[in-house]
């Protein structure tokens, strides 16, 4: 929810310096993750898989298992699964919301068919 509000205000209220909104979205997400870890009182590994990735890790493990021909996990699988999970869960929605509100603002400022 904060991502929606921040990207909306970034495009409509502070359109001069939109990079500021992206920094605020990143900082808000980091603070939320730190708070979540502190409140949950879970071990880091279980918190990471159950809260942070919340199902996306299973998808990324399925993708990496397609290239697993020898039955053992390769060294690159865990970093890829982390990268894929964070991009799918955090980066892509923030980018898509930013683009959506940017396009909405442009459509509202310039009338259609003129």
Q: Which of 48, 41, 3, 40 minimizes the C-alpha distance to 22?
A: 3
Task: Calculate the alpha carbon distances from 86 to 14, 46, 57, 107 in Å.
Answer: 27, 16, 9, 31
Mean pLDDT of the chain: 82
- Per-residue pLDDT averaged across 28-42, rounded? 90
- Per-residue pLDDT averaged across 32-49, rounded? 90
Give the residue extent of every domain in the chain.
Answer: 2-109
7's CB contacts (< 8 A; 6+ apart) are 21, 25, 94, 97, 98, 100, 101
Query: pLDDT confidence of 22, banded at 50, 70, 90?
Result: confident
- Per-residue pLDDT averaged across 94-110, rounded? 84
The count of residues in the chain is 114
- Give the model's pLDDT for residue 35: 93
Give the whole-angstrom CA distance, residue 33 versus residue 2. Answer: 13
> Is pLDDT at 42 greater than 80 in this prediction?
yes
Give the whole-angstrom CA distance, residue 43 versus residue 107. Answer: 47
> Is pLDDT at 39 greater than 90 in this prediction?
yes
- Give the model's pLDDT for residue 17: 73
Give the Cα-Cα-Cα angle 33, 39, 42 (nearest 5 degrees).
Answer: 90
36's CB contacts (< 8 A; 6+ apart) are 47, 51, 52
Model confidence, pTM: 0.71
């Amino acid at each position: 929810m904060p991502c929606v509000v921040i990207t909306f205000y970034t495009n409509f209220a502070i359109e001069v310096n939109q990079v500021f909104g992206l920094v605020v979205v990143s900082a808000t997400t980091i603070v939320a993750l730190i708070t979540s870890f502190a409140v949950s009182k879970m071990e880091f590994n279980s918190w990471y898989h159950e809260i942070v990735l919340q199902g996306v890790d299973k998808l990324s493990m399925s993708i990496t298992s397609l290239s697993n021909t020898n039955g053992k996990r390769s060294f690159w699988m865990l970093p890829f699964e982390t990268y894929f999970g964070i991009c799918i869960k955090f980066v892509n929605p923030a980018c898509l919301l930013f683009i959506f509100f940017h396009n909405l603002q442009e459509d509202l400022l310039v009338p259609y068919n003129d």
